[in-house]
Amino acid sequence: MPKAAATFERGRMASSTRERIIGTALRYTVIVIAVAFALFPVLFIISSALNPTGQLSTQGLLPRVDDPSRLFDNFRGLLIDNLRVYPFWRWLFNSFIVASVSTVLTVLITALSAYSFSRFRFRGRQSLLLWIRLLQVFPNLLALVALFLILQQINEVSDTLNQIMPILDWTWLRSFGLNSLGGVILVYMAGAMGINTLLMKGFLDSIPREIDESATVDGATNWQIFWQLIFPLIRPILAVVGVLAFVGTFNEFVLARLILRDTQNWTLMVGLFNFINSDFNRDWGQFAAGALVAAVPVVTLYLILQDQIVGGLTQGAVKG
């Protein structure tokens, strides 16, 4: 009987070991396939950027060149040689300004709005939260025509005011109208308020109210409580909202293509579209090179704030 039990135990352990090996092999197989699927587009873009011919018809996963110095022809043409035709640095500067300003304004206004919804009780609070959730159901494309007309009317108001009251200069309004970076910033900032407010409110709900009550007993105002006590505690969620807003505005194309008309006012995504809009084969290499350069600020921001992003996403999901 003991021999039979020992034999059964050895068989069970062997079966368990075999199942564990098979399970581990399957998991690693799935991971390798997922990583390969995710990295293939990146490798293809890198190969296209290093391909001096700049044509998809001769494109392979590995660039074929006789002279290694030609690997950077696309970068040289994009960043140095063709700046008169394609002002790449100007487009990159426009994108950075639009993304940075809209991100800072979005974070500040979202923080104040979320703090109000989390800490204060006022009439219409639940209705406003419900409307914010409902607005997220509709895609931004539904508002394209309305946004275009609003920004166009801002330019018309500027011209009308200059005719009615010529003593004052009203041309500054055009900085927030059609074909202006200010108008794009306003549109981006308004579009990022909804979901970010809900995300930040969930994080604020996880902060104990005893902090506010203790500060109130000590004589602190609501403004002092927010800036001196709450604001430093919500840095993780501020990083999350900031990264989401920056990446979303930096990579946005549709609204910028609709609003911005002059070449000097284009953002980077609109400018890069020009490389493949006129002649697909000729400028594909420079388009890929521009895409790699455009990825540098986003990747750098993620690497700097990665710890804060993980903390903000996990803590903000505790309470809602």
Give me the domains of the chain, ranges plus CATH numbers.
1-81 (no CATH), 86-316 (1.10.3720.10)
Give pLDDT, residue 96: 92
Confidence (pLDDT) at 135: 79
Q: Can you say whether the dihedral through the CA atoms of 241, 244, 250, 252 is positive or negative?
A: negative
The terminus-to-terminus CA distance of the chain in angstroms comes to 60
From residue 193, alpha-carbon distances to 2, 78, 186, 236, 260 in Å are: 71, 35, 11, 18, 22
**What is the model's pTM?**
0.80
Q: What is the 3-state secondary structure (H, E, C) of the chain?
A: CHHHHHHHHHHHHHHHHHHHHHHHHHHHHHHHHHHHHHHHHHHHHHHHHHCCCCCHHHCCCCCCCCCHHHHHHHHHHHHHHCCCCCCHHHHHHHHHHHHHHHHHHHHHHHHHHHHHHHHCCCCCHHHHHHHHHHHCCCCHHHHHHHHHHHHHHHHHHHHHHHHHCCCCCCHHHHHHCCCCHHHHHHHHHHHCHHHHHHHHHHHHHCCCCHHHHHHHHCCCCHHHHHHHHHHHHCHHHHHHHHHHHHHHHHCCCHHHHHHCCCHHHCCHHHHHHHHHHCCCCCCHHHHHHHHHHHHHHHHHHHHHHHHHHHHHHHHHCCCC
Give pLDDT, residue 281: 47
Count CB-CB contacts under 10 A for residue 137.
6
Q: How far apart are CA 176 and CA 159, in angstroms?
A: 13
- Mark residue 179 as left, alpha or beta (left: phi above 0; alpha: psi -120 to 50; beta: remaining): left
Contact 74, 52 (CB under 8 A): yes
Q: How far is CA 286 from CA 178, 241, 263, in A?
A: 29, 32, 18
Residue 263 token pair: 């070449």
Give me the residues of the chain with pLDDT under 70, please: 1-16, 54-69, 278-282, 308-320
